[in-house]
Amino acid sequence: MLTTGEQRLYVGGLLVDTKFHPAGNTIVPSTSYADMRIGYSRVNNGYFNGKIDEVRLYNKPLSDQEVQDLYNSIGY
């Protein structure tokens, strides 16, 4: 969320991680070690060897219910 600097990560429609960055900062500097990453791990400089499906980014905050509704509408 741009006003609070909050980032949320959902997997399978469930909230699994929340991080806070300076409000208005839409890109974490590459020199920082941000804990929330998709397809990368700091451990052994490892990248995910596989396929990632259904990654979505939104330009507005979604409520937990909106995320759950979107997840359920896909039909998993």
Token pair 């804990």 is found at 35
| Cα–Cα distance, 39 to 51 (Å, whole number) | 9
List 8's β-bridge partners, or say none.
18
| Cα–Cα distance, 31 to 57 (Å, whole number) | 22
Name the pLDDT band for 65 (thresholds 50, 70, 90): very high
pTM of the model: 0.56
pLDDT digits (tens, 9 = 90+) for 9-18: 888 888 988 8
Q: Please determine, for residue 63, whether its predicted confidence score (pLDDT) is greater than 80.
A: yes
Q: Please determine, for residue 38, whether its predicted confidence score (pLDDT) is greater than 70.
A: yes
> What's the farthest any 2 CA atoms get from each other in the chain?
39
List 20's β-bridge partners, or say none.
6
Helix (H, G, I), strand (E, B) or coil at 11: strand
